[in-house]
Amino acid sequence: MTLEQLWNGWRAQYIASAQTGSSRVGASVFTQILKSGLSDVDSNIVHRGEKVFAILNAFPYSTGHVLVLPYREVSDLEDLDAAESAELWATVTQSVRAIKVSHQPHAVNVGINLGTAAGGSISEHLHVHVVPRWNGDSNFMTSVANTRTLPEPLADTAHKIRAAWPD
């Protein structure tokens, strides 16, 4: 017997937000979070710098999936000023270090999707993905059901990464 459907309810919110794509009106979800007045704990922001910040991905590929992005809403790398660019990449490196300490992955993927066609669901606000990986972390759930299994709540992940963030 083959199971043909697995319920994956959290995807509905992601799909609804992703459908607006670059044609959306108003601020990106990241800018909305920054302007919301929520605390860093409530918004899962794990680090704030002068020009950039790091936040947990609300729809992670794996536990510890961090996004690093400028406060300023820009869509292309070449739109960053020199200070933003330097701090962005330094913060990506800090994110990798923190994740290696907090979650001890076997490897880490670092990537960026520039533009909707490249896979950027929020392409108007450039963000770099820092994704911890473990041997055998992909299984049938992702390949046949578009579902991920995550062993800890985002709040616990954020706490661990904040505690491991390099000074």
Give the integer Cα–Cα distance in Å for 150 and 98: 19
Q: Which among 88, 73, 69, 92 is positioned nearest to 28, based on CA atoms?
A: 73
Cα separation, 70 vs 19, in Å, equals 23
- Asked if 87 contacts 47 with a C-beta cutoff of 8 angstroms, the reply is no
Under 8 Å between Cβ of 165 and 72: no
Active site residues: 127
CB contact at 8 A, 129 and 106: no
Cβ–Cβ under 8 Å, residues 95 and 130: yes
